[in-house]
Structure 1
Amino acid sequence: MTKAAHLRSLIREGRAPVLTAGAHDGLGAVLAERAGYRAVWASGLEVSAAHALPDVGLLGISDYLAAARIMNQACGLPVIADCDTGFGNELNAAYTVQQYEAAGVAAICIEDKIFPKVNSFAGHRQMLAPIGEFAHKIRVAKGSQKDPDFMVIARTEALIAGAGMDEAMDRAHAYADAGADAILIHSKAKTHAEVEEFMGRWGGRLPVVIVPTTYYEWSASDAGHAGASIVIHANQGLRATVSAVMSAFAIMLNDGCSSALEGQIASVKEIFDLQRMDQWLELEA
């Protein structure tokens, strides 16, 4: 079974949302797999941050594709790739599908904002593409795939842009008509109320993907009962890493050594295990 087929089977099971962890490299993907997540989100924010750049469309498809390919090779989980707006127009979106499918990625997600996009939480302009234009992009993207199990997730930013629930519903239905495999409804509200309202009005026409970054109190179980098929913890791993590394560096600079940290940080042996050192060395035996 391909990873794309596996992701579809996980969604069809419906026993619980497919819990998905954000990552930006192979190590993050392996950590997600070992923790028990069932899919990996190749996060645009995380990949940008790994380059010490803002998530405002500065990187191109080659950067994001390389990161997603490494994640896919590093773990056995299906990878869902954040592909911003599809890196341009409908032809760019078609090329994106072809390249990510060839890399073994299970699904891509593209959003209905004007290229180049600005991160949804940046507090800056959030300009939506016309509905018909983005629906055409979805249709062309779907028409370019070879594997019928490969998924194109249409992400609407209508709530992020302040366009309202009716606009979000209109866009989601238009994207479903265009052939999208799932809808990601994005929100930066502090509670899950508007996302839950969307799913109640949506009626299960297609699987719904949610990203509870700001409404983090909503459990995956409750979100699943409300209608979510995929729940993405999109950037918490990166944020935890930044906090831990900043704290460790501060302690070592202050103490002049790492003595106070050694009981709290991973051992070199644990890093070797994550790298599968023994398996690689066995190849030369």
Structure 2
Amino acid sequence: MHGALPKRLIDSAIPTDGPRDSLRSLITSSDLAFAMEAHDGLSAAIAQRAGFKALWASGLSISSCLGFRDANEASWSEIVDVVERMADAADIPILVDGDSGFGNFNNARLIARKLRQRGASGVCLEDKAFPKINSFVGDRHPLADIDEFCGRLKAVKDQVPDPDFVLIARVEALIAGHGEDEALARAHAYAEAGADAILIHSRKPDAEEIFSFTLGWQSRLPVVIVPTKYYRTPAAEYRVAGISMVVWANHSMRAASAAMRKVCDRIIHEESIAGIESEIATLDELFDLLKYQELSAAEERYLPQAANGVR
């Protein structure tokens, strides 16, 4: 735990905004749910403050912030450590991008157990061979054998039987160019193996193959989508199609990257921070977001008062 207090020991000291919805209730609700990408404690707190009810712990975003490519270069233990920081910073469910499970069934069940221990509410496993690479990079995306991947899913369900921990099977057949029939066959197999929901992924600029899949799927299990490439599609169309959850998968990280690049460029050219001070977050905003006021209140309660009244 690297010296950090477990979340269960500090929850009572940190005020929350009231009871949260479980990840399962969000995905199974008749309302369209949204999960916002986060990649560390700060981005998790910002997403919760904005009003999101769930977080997506993005493999791409976490890897990028660690200086790695989204190609299983970051280890599963590094991902788990980041998820713990997110769980400490935000009190909403975290769905973790578990890539392909970091190996076979044994690796998949191990990371699922560790994620649950660290505060995650669910894991999404994609049906690619290990090691994987980001779905939007190149055309080489070998898929796992269906039966072997079903074994990974079954192992996770057996290892973490907690009904509040959601297992989502991510179907990459459309990404790999295999078509809708293969995607549906895989989705049905994963449902039989115990998946709680199906994430169908596409990199087309429109959502037509997503909507075609949902028609063929007929709502056997909830459907989750990641519209990174077909971002112009209105959310109303997802509601009509019966989509359960939309994941905004990498936008906080990309926004942060663009903002940091802009600030660095200006400071190095202007040799001053005066021009950018009004365009960045104030320190008080950061202190408020991370609940410094709770620490001040705790000091009043727990630190002894000196004779001069100073703690």
**Range class of TM-score, shorter chain:** over 0.9
Equivalent position of 2:135 in the other structure: 120
Equivalent position of 1:9 in the other structure: 25
Corresponding pairs, count: 283
Displacement, 1:160? 0.5
Displacement, 1:146? 3.3
Displacement, 1:14? 1.4
SS of equivalent residue, structure 1 residue 231? strand
SS of equivalent residue, structure 1 residue 122? coil
| Cα 1:221/1:36, change in 2 over 3 Å | farther
User: Could you tell which deviates more after superposition, 228-237 or 97-106?
Assistant: 97-106
Which amino acid counterpart does residue 169 of structure 2 have in structure 1?
Answer: A
Contact 2:83 2:119 in 1 (8 A): no
SS of equivalent residue, structure 1 residue 228? coil
SS of equivalent residue, structure 1 residue 147? coil
The answer as to 2:111 corresponding to 1:91 is no
> Of residues 30, 38, 61 in structure 1, which corresponds to 2:45?
30
Displacement, 1:13? 2.6
In 2, Cα distance between the equivalents of 1:122 and 1:139? 29
Contact 1:113 1:129 in 2 (8 A): yes
CA-to-aligned-CA distance 1:197-230 (integer Å, 9 cap, x gap):
1111111100111000000011233212212111
**Structure with max Cα Rg:** 2
Displacement, 1:18? 1.4
Contact 1:19 1:220 in 2 (8 A): no
In 1, Cα distance between the equivalents of 2:65 and 2:197? 28
In 1, Cα distance between the equivalents of 2:139 and 2:272? 42
Equivalent position of 2:6 in the other structure: none
The answer as to 2:81 corresponding to 1:66 is yes
Contact 2:126 2:172 in 1 (8 A): yes
Displacement, 1:278? 1.3
Equivalent position of 2:285 in the other structure: 270
SS of equivalent residue, structure 1 residue 283? helix
Displacement, 1:59? 1.5
Displacement, 1:12? 2.9
Contact 1:118 1:124 in 2 (8 A): no
> Of residues 171, 174, 183 in structure 2, which corresponds to 1:159?
174
Contact 1:24 1:47 in 2 (8 A): yes
> Of residues 186, 192, 202 in structure 2, which corresponds to 1:187?
202
> Of residues 120, 124, 127 in structure 2, which corresponds to 1:109?
124
> Of residues 226, 237, 249 in structure 1, which corresponds to 2:241?
226
The answer as to 2:254 corresponding to 1:239 is yes
User: What TM-score, normalized to structure 1?
Assistant: 0.96
Which amino acid counterpart does residue 237 of structure 2 have in structure 1?
Answer: D
In 2, Cα distance between the equivalents of 1:24 and 1:169? 31
> Of residues 107, 110, 115 in structure 2, which corresponds to 1:100?
115
> Of residues 203, 208, 217 in structure 2, which corresponds to 1:202?
217
The answer as to 2:299 corresponding to 1:284 is yes
Question: RMSD over aligned Cα, in angstroms?
Answer: 1.5
Equivalent position of 1:142 in the other structure: 157
**Sequence identity of aligned pairs in percent?**
42
User: What TM-score, normalized to structure 2?
Assistant: 0.88
Q: Which runs of 5+ in 2 are unaligned?
A: 1-17, 301-311
Equivalent position of 2:10 in the other structure: none
In 2, Cα distance between the equivalents of 1:126 and 1:40? 26
